[in-house]
Chain A
Amino acid sequence: MTGDEWHGSFIRILLDQGVDPIEAQRISEDSRAEAIAARRHPAQLFGPAAAYATAVARAARPAPLNAPLARAKGPVVLRLTGVTKRYRRREVLRGVDLTLHAGEVAAVTGANGAGKSTLLDICAGTIKATSGVVERTARIGYAPQQHGVAPYLTAEEHFRLFGAVHRMGARKAVATGAHLAAGLGWRPRAGVVASQLSGGTQQKLNVVLGELSRPDLILLDEPYQGFDQDSYLDLWAQVYAWRDAGAGVLVVTHLLHDLDKVDHLLELQGAEDR
C-alpha cells in the first residue's frame, strides 16, 4: 500500500465511523503532515489504516459527560400508578409506580421474564395494562428491541417516513437522521435496506428513529444489545445528552454498573404464577 492509499482508506474509514467530514479532513491532513515530518510511511508511524482510524474516531467523538449537568426538572412526562399486567393467571407486573419528569432518566432492571419489555410497551401505549393508570406526554419516541424497523426500507427512507409522522420535511428529516446516526458512530449507506444491516446497526437505526422528532419522552429497550463496548458508552452519553436537552428517558437495561447516575431505578421482581 502506498502512502496515498493509506491516507485514502484512513479518511474513508473515519467517515464510515461517523466523524464529521470537516473534522475528518482536518485529522487526515494532520496525519499526512505528521508522517512527512517524521519521514516515515504512515503505516509505519500509525499502524494499519483501519485500526488507526477506529482509534482516532473514538477519540474524536465528543467526550461523554462525566458529571451530570445542573438542570431544572421539567413537567411530568410519564406517570405510572399501580400498573399491573396479567396474562390469564400469570401476573407479569404488579403495582408499578413511577413519576418521570422531563430532564430525568429512569432505568428499568430485572431478570429475564420480569416484565421489562411489557412495561415499556405499556408506557408506549402499544399494549394495555390490566389495571392501574398510565399518564404520558403526547410526543414520545420509542425504540423497541426487535420490531420497529421495516426490513425493505433504507435508513433514509426510514428517516423520511418517521419525519413525516411529525410533519418534518423530507430533507430536514434525512439530515437530522444522518446527524443523529453520526453521534452513534454510524454512517448510513445509500441503497442498503434495514434487513441487510447488522443487529447492532439496526438497533442504532431504532435509536435514531426514537429521537428524530425531539420527543419529550424517549423509551428505549435493551439498546446496547449487539452494540460493541464503545457504542454502548456512546449510547449512554447520548441518553444523558437527551436528558440534558430536557427529555425524560426510560431505559430498559441488564447492566447495573453505571446506574449510579440515573434518577430512578425501577427493579422488576418477575413473574408469579397464582
Chain B
Amino acid sequence: MLDAMRQQWLHGFLDLCLLCLLGERRDYGLGLAQRLAESGFGEIPGGTLYPSLLRLEKQGLVQADWVSSAVGPRRKYYRLTAEGRVAADERVAVWREFRQAMDRIADRADLAEVETA
C-alpha cells in the first residue's frame, strides 16, 4: 500500500528529478538510475525511466546523443537544452512552494499528536 503510494509520487516527480540531475551534469540512462537510487529513491525500473527521458526529449527540454567510448560500450547521453534549464528552474520554484505548504500541514499533524498524548 505505502509502496504503491511512493511509486505514484515518484512517477509524478520523475521528470523534475531528471531535469535537476541533468542540470548538474549530462548523463546516460543507467547513470541517472544510479544517481536516483543514491539520492534515496530506490531502484527506478528502466520501463519507467526511459519513457520519461523520451518524453523530455520530445518536449525539447533534453537533448540526447549517442557517444562512443574507447573503453566501454556506446552510450546515449542526455543533457539539458536551454529550454530545459528554464523549465527546471521554474518547476523547482513551484516544488519549493508546494513542499512548504505540505510541511506546514504535516507539522500540524505532529503538533496534534503532542497535544493528545
Type the 1/0 row for A34-57, where 1 means its CB is closer than 8 Å to any CB of B: 101111000001111001100110
A214-231 contacts to B, CB under 8 A, are: none
Whether the pair A51, B47 counts as a contact (CB closer than 8 A) is yes
Report, as a range, how many residues of chain B touch the other chain. 20 to 34
Q: Is A265 an interface residue (CB 8 A)?
A: no
B53 nearest CB neighbor, chain A only: A59
Chain B residues with Cβ under 8 A from A47's Cβ? 45-47
Chain B nearest CB, measured from A46 CB (Å): 5
B29-68 contacts to A, CB under 8 A, are: 29-30, 45-48, 50-52, 54-55, 58-59, 66
Q: Is A33 an interface residue (CB 8 A)?
A: yes
Chain B residues with Cβ under 8 A from A33's Cβ? 66, 73-74, 76
Q: Decide: A60 near B54, CB < 8 A? Known: A33-B76, A38-B30.
A: yes
Chain A residues with Cβ under 8 A from B50's Cβ? 31, 34, 46, 52, 56
Chain B residues with Cβ under 8 A from A62's Cβ? 58
Type the 1/0 row for B67-101, where 1 means its CB is closer than 8 Å to any CB of A: 00000111110000000000000000000000000
A30 nearest CB neighbor, chain B only: B76
Whether the pair B30, A59 counts as a contact (CB closer than 8 A) is no
Cα of A111 to Cα of B67 in the assembled complex, Å: 57
Chain B nearest CB, measured from A209 CB (Å): 28
